[in-house]
Structure 1
Amino acid sequence: MPLLSSLVLPDAAAAEAAVAALQHIAPPVLSVEALLERDLEALEAQIDLPRGALAAFRKAVAHHYAPLRNASTLQDEEVLTPTGCAAIDALLGGGFRGGDVAEVVGPTCSGKTQLLLATACRASERGRNVAWVDAGSSSFSPARARSMKGRLDLIRVCFAEDAWAMLRSLDDAGRFLKPGDVCVVDAPSRVLTPNLGGDRNPQGHQLLALATRALQTLARQGVCVLVANSTARGLSDGMDDEGAFFDESWKAALGPVWSTCASLRLALAAPRDGVCRCALAKAPDGSRGEAAFRVCAEGVADVEPCDV
């Protein structure tokens, strides 16, 4: 991989500023490979560049200098998995993407499971396989999936009662899911949090790292990986406080080690008068935005003008 300092990009001034900023962080980001592997949100927190500048630079680098791949492995079109709600799909650029780990985070009753179940059912309608890993939440409902016209013959469900069972389920999912298929992990914090205990319990952080690696491995295989995460009270450093989008004091559970797992994060707020709100808190291209939706028997739907 070439060094960032040797690249020739259309916007030379912006590229020079980005390269200089990346050279002065710890550890420095010097090569194309290092830039593409590092978490975008974490890098943005370390450098002094205008919002979106680093995302634009990385996109340009990936376009011009990404490694060559065998053409037989490429898709003719980007694989998207829509949610069934036009407002949310527009916010996501058409739906959740294959090859991404997407995290949906929000308080209880904010619609996380309903949104992911609707997405899984839309995927099964299109003939895609779905692995649903129910991590200690007992949230999967065959009746609800049928009402959303999901194909139960294409949805495999595992009830993982502890962290090790969840890891085994993810390993099993990697054996049968293909590019474009979907893997949903509902509420991993339920089985991971009991293992955490600060620096005095290194095994807990090892489990977090193993879970992160398992999810990202599935994504690298072209699978659309969707994770529902709960919340923790209070604010941290202002960088990862998803509740701030709704003027609330909460953030995603499991801490900073987990926060780099997902390349996309959708924050949901508790509904008000039947209307749910969501905000794009993290995206590979640095985009942001908000949308409103409602929960219904068929999954998730757009908000009618009279509901607003």
Structure 2
Amino acid sequence: MLVASTEQLANSDRLKQGINQILSIIETYHQPWMNGLVLLEDREQNKHCLSTGCESFDMLLQGGLHEGHVTELVGPSSSGKTQVCFQFASNVAMKLGGVVFLDSGNSFSPTRMQQIVTHISGSAENKINGILQQAMRNIECHAVFDVYALLNVLHQQKLKLKSQTGYQVRLIIVDSISSLIAPILGGSNAHGHALMVSVGYLLKELADRHNIAVVVTNHMVGGEGGTLKPALGESWKNIPHVRLQLSQDHARNVYAVQILRHPYMASGRNANFMIP
């Protein structure tokens, strides 16, 4: 009723956003209790693995990207994080369903996606156009240049998933989460920290509630002794379920991935893979 009443007001977008945020907060206090058996059944029946399109990557993760998990790809500049996101998005959009790609750096490349889809499909030339059109139709791309735009799109997705029959998303990609959050952190900025945590919890809620695989990318910064470490600090570190580190051998065009953290896999395991 409150949302409907705002339609009569000029410039009602911020008011509606505030109402939706309040409803979201209320909803978090009314989560149903679930025992271990219910959670196990949910995991087995509703939380599937999405193939990445790279066999060795899938083998490392025991099937691919797990629905219900937030997976973080960390790596220095030019380690291939965006290219890996293109690979994930292409394979899921072509074979499994909807992808929401949140682009913070204006780096989304339809041409690159076309190359990857064409390579993955392996179809005769007369079939490629239909496969490509379907894959590109399944990708919903949003340009987000600050954390507020990110939160707005995520809340929109949450409302669409709850209210629109037939609207289905299998994969959400945020490339990159650190470029949106890092500018609001620093010093004693409690507000920036609260926004970061809100983004993390919203991503985890979308993943779990709607059986979506979420992938975010994060750059690396200098740590003690000059060693590189993922950006955004200790508070963000506990948000992703899975943390993977990427590197690239540019001479051979070979990528490497290593598990830094996983709920039920050993850290340190690694694999090499290629992207067309």
CA RMSD of aligned residues (A): 2.4
SS in structure 1 at match of 2:214? strand
SS in structure 1 at match of 2:256? strand
SS in structure 1 at match of 2:235? helix
Deviation sequence 1:29-88 (CA, Å, 0-9, x none): xxxxxxxxxxxxxxxxxxxxxxxxxxxxxxxxx9xx6153697x7764751111111111
Deviation sequence 1:247-271 (CA, Å, 0-9, x none): x821111111111111111101242
Q: Give the corresponding residue for 2:114.
A: 146
Pairing 1:284–2:259 present? no
Q: Where do residues 193-232 of structure 1 align in structure 2 (5 Å cutoff)?
A: 193-199=182-188, 201-221=189-209, 222-232=211-221
Q: Could you tell me which runs of 5 or more consecutive residues in structure 2 were left unpaired when the two chains were aligned.
A: 1-33, 118-131, 162-166
User: What amino acid does structure 2 have at the position aligned with 1:271?
Assistant: D
Pairing 1:293–2:273 present? yes
Q: Give the corresponding residue for 2:155.
A: 171
CA contact (8 A) 2:47 2:68 kept: no
Q: Distance in 2 between matches of 1:285 and 1:95?
A: 14
- CA separation of 1:174/1:77 partners in 2, compared to 1, >3 Å: closer, same or farther? closer
Q: Where do residues 231-270 of structure 1 align in structure 2 (5 Å cutoff)?
A: 231-235=220-224, 249-270=227-248
Deviation sequence 1:112-147 (CA, Å, 0-9, x none): 111121111111112411111112x11211111122
Q: Distance in 2 between matches of 1:227 and 1:69?
A: 25
Size of the aligned set, in residue pairs, is 219
CA contact (8 A) 2:100 2:169 kept: no
- CA separation of 1:180/1:170 partners in 2, compared to 1, >3 Å: closer, same or farther? closer
Q: Distance in 2 between matches of 1:166 and 1:270?
A: 28
User: What amino acid does structure 1 have at the position aligned with 2:218?
Assistant: N
CA contact (8 A) 1:106 1:270 kept: no
Q: Give the corresponding residue for 1:86.
A: 55
CA contact (8 A) 1:98 1:224 kept: yes
SS in structure 2 at match of 1:148? helix
SS in structure 1 at match of 2:113? helix
Deviation at 1:295, TM superposition (A): 3.3
User: What amino acid does structure 1 have at the position aligned with 2:263?
Assistant: P
Q: Give the corresponding residue for 2:97.
A: 128
- CA separation of 1:164/1:271 partners in 2, compared to 1, >3 Å: closer, same or farther? same
CA contact (8 A) 2:53 2:91 kept: yes
User: What amino acid does structure 2 have at the position aligned with 1:156?
Assistant: E
SS in structure 2 at match of 1:156? strand
Q: Give the corresponding residue for 1:66.
A: 36
Higher helix share: 2
The percent identity for this pair of structures is: 29
CA contact (8 A) 1:98 1:180 kept: no
Deviation at 1:291, TM superposition (A): 0.8
Q: Distance in 1 between matches of 2:99 and 2:264?
A: 26
Q: Distance in 2 between matches of 1:79 and 1:156?
A: 21
- TM superposition score normalised by structure 2: 0.73
Q: Distance in 2 between matches of 1:77 and 1:192?
A: 31
Pairing 1:189–2:178 present? yes
- CA separation of 1:155/1:196 partners in 2, compared to 1, >3 Å: closer, same or farther? same
